[in-house]
């Protein structure tokens, strides 16, 4: 047995609740339980044929199997710039203000390494997508939590941040539509974020992973659409959720030239960029007729959301319908913590949710359901929960 300790950066990470969950899932599956796994936000709606055909075609060209360029092919970056203009009304210079990523998680975490020194502070609203605080911890920094609550729509109050912390903070990470809460933010809040970051000389990171997953026609806005945002902001995008390509590992960042340059610099020392065939397929994705695919994806998540929330409410919950993302965030009944309740539901029903504590300590008391099953599967999950006697009381 090696007597070598892991680096402090690993020891400082909070426990990874999903590992515990995986063990229980494996045990239940071994016992023959038919699991309905709504635990991970792993999209199940496949990409359309145009994207797959493009990948297959690209695979036949030997040139595409070589190392790609670090920062992305010029045609990929041009497609990103056109997509950003068309979808969000923002202008980015493809040469200096775009970088490809091996998925946006990779980008968000490595961006922390580009700016965070040991002891530096990142402001992170919580509950949060774990990479938003874990990236800073891995880089040796300290996440400073901005509490958010259901009552205030899961939007942090920037006015109550201690001015000494605000002055010391180096970065703030905002992300709407939100994973895990499904909350969306207003233009006024974004304008407040930009003004706050300018005032305190803070880098503003906007993780826009769920840019296209929204409901009732209320399209989320890009942080970069706020006048002056580009002075302080970098925004992360992904094809994972929009085009059902999570396994392809394709994303991009756009925004402030200096911030993009720093991210490129760190990435040139870590990876070799994004597989050219995937870049070509992503170009096909970004030039699809929107009504043909993305609108259907949205409609699918919306009717799953309605079915699931209505089902929970018929079991005593009082959950309102999230306005975006692909999650339903709902409270744990009295007497349990989120991990306990999650494990109990798995054992009794085979339905897997994510315990809220996985999204930081302020996620305790909640569960997250990812809407990644067909409607009949979601209905079955609810039926099993009902039969097992779980209710919200």
Ligand X SMILES: Cc1ncc(COP(=O)(O)O)c(C=O)c1O
Which residue, 48 or 182, has its beta carbon nearer to ligand X? 182
Phi, psi (degrees; rounded to nearest 5) at 45? -90, 115
Calpha distance 308→199 (Å, rounded): 43
Residue 166 contacts by C-beta under 8 Å, 6 or more apart in sequence? 123, 196, 199, 200, 202
Which residue, 238 or 279, has its beta carbon nearer to ligand X? 238
Residue 175 CB, nearest approach to ligand X (Å)? 5
Give residues 72-131 in contact with ligand X (rule: CB under 6 A). 103-105, 129
- State in Å, rounded, how far the first CA of the chain is from the last one: 49
Residue 142 CB, nearest approach to ligand X (Å)? 21
Residue 173 CB, nearest approach to ligand X (Å)? 10
Residue 238 CB, nearest approach to ligand X (Å)? 3
Residue 208 CB, nearest approach to ligand X (Å)? 8
Size of the site for ligand X (CB under 6 A): 13
Hey, what are 138's tokens?
């891995």
**Contact pick of 122, 136, 179, 276 for ligand X (by CB under 6 A):** 179
Which residue, 239 or 339, has its beta carbon nearer to ligand X? 239
Calpha distance 385→325 (Å, rounded): 23
Q: Are 251 and 236 in contact (CB under 8 A)?
A: yes
Instruction: Scan for tokens 């930009």, then name that residue.
Output: 194
**Contact pick of 148, 240, 256, 349 for ligand X (by CB under 6 A):** 240
Residue 334 CB, nearest approach to ligand X (Å)? 29
Calpha distance 297→295 (Å, rounded): 5
Residue 295 CB, nearest approach to ligand X (Å)? 21
For residue 207, state whether it binds ligand X (rule: CB under 6 A). yes
Calpha distance 265→210 (Å, rounded): 26
For residue 363, state whether it binds ligand X (rule: CB under 6 A). no
For residue 251, state whether it binds ligand X (rule: CB under 6 A). yes
For residue 175, state whether it binds ligand X (rule: CB under 6 A). yes
For residue 248, state whether it binds ligand X (rule: CB under 6 A). no
**Contact pick of 238, 242, 279, 349 for ligand X (by CB under 6 A):** 238
Q: Are 276 and 64 in contact (CB under 8 A)?
A: yes
* Cis geometry, peptide bond prior to residue 180 (ω within 30 degrees of 0): yes
- Count helices and strands (H / E) in the chain: 13, 12
For residue 349, state whether it binds ligand X (rule: CB under 6 A). no
Which residues are near ligand X by CB under 6 A?
41, 103-105, 129, 175, 179, 207, 209, 238, 240, 246, 251
């Amino acid at each position: 047995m090696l007597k070598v300790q892991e680096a402090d950066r690993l020891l400082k990470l909070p426990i990874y609740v999903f590992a515990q969950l995986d063990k229980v899932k494996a045990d239940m599956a071994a016992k023959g339980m038919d699991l309905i796994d709504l635990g991970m936000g792993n999209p199940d709606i496949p990409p359309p044929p145009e994207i797959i055909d493009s990948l297959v075609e690209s695979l036949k060209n030997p040139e595409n199997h070589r190392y790609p360029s670090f920062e992305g092919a010029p045609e990929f970056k041009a497609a990103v710039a056109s997509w950003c203009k068309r979808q969000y009304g923002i202008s980015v210079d493809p040469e200096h203000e775009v970088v490809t990523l091996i998925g946006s998680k990779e980008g968000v975490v490595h961006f922390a390494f580009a700016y965070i020194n040991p002891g530096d502070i990142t402001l992170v609203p919580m509950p949060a997508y774990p990479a938003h605080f874990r990236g800073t911890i891995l880089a040796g920094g300290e996440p400073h939590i901005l509490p958010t609550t259901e009552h205030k729509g899961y939007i942090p109050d920037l006015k109550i941040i201690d001015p000494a912390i605000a002055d010391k903070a180096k970065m703030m990470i905002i992300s709407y539509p939100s994973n895990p809460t499904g909350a969306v933010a207003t233009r006024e809040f974004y304008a407040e974020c930009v003004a706050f970051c300018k005032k305190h000389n803070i880098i503003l990171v906007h993780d826009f992973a769920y840019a296209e997953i929204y409901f009732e026609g209320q399209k989320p806005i890009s942080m970069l659409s706020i006048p002056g945002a580009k002075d302080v902001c970098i925004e992360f995008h992904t094809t994972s959720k929009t085009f059902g390509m999570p396994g392809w590992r394709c994303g991009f960042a756009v925004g402030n030239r200096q911030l993009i340059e720093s991210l490129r610099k760190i990435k040139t020392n870590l990876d070799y960029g994004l597989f050219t065939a995937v870049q070509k397929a992503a170009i096909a994705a970004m030039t699809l007729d929107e009504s043909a695919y993305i609108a259907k994806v949205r409609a699918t998540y919306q009717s799953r959301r309605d079915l699931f929330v209505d089902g929970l409410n018929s079991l005593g919950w009082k959950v309102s319908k999230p306005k975006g993302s692909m999650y339903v965030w709902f409270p744990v009944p009295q007497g349990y913590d989120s991990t306990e309740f999650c494990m109990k539901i798995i054992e009794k029903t085979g339905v897997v949710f994510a315990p809220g504590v996985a999204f930081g300590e302020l996620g305790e008391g909640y569960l997250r359901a990812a809407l990644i099953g067909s409607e009949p599967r979601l209905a079955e999950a609810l039926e099993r929960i009902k039969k097992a006697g779980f209710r919200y009381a």
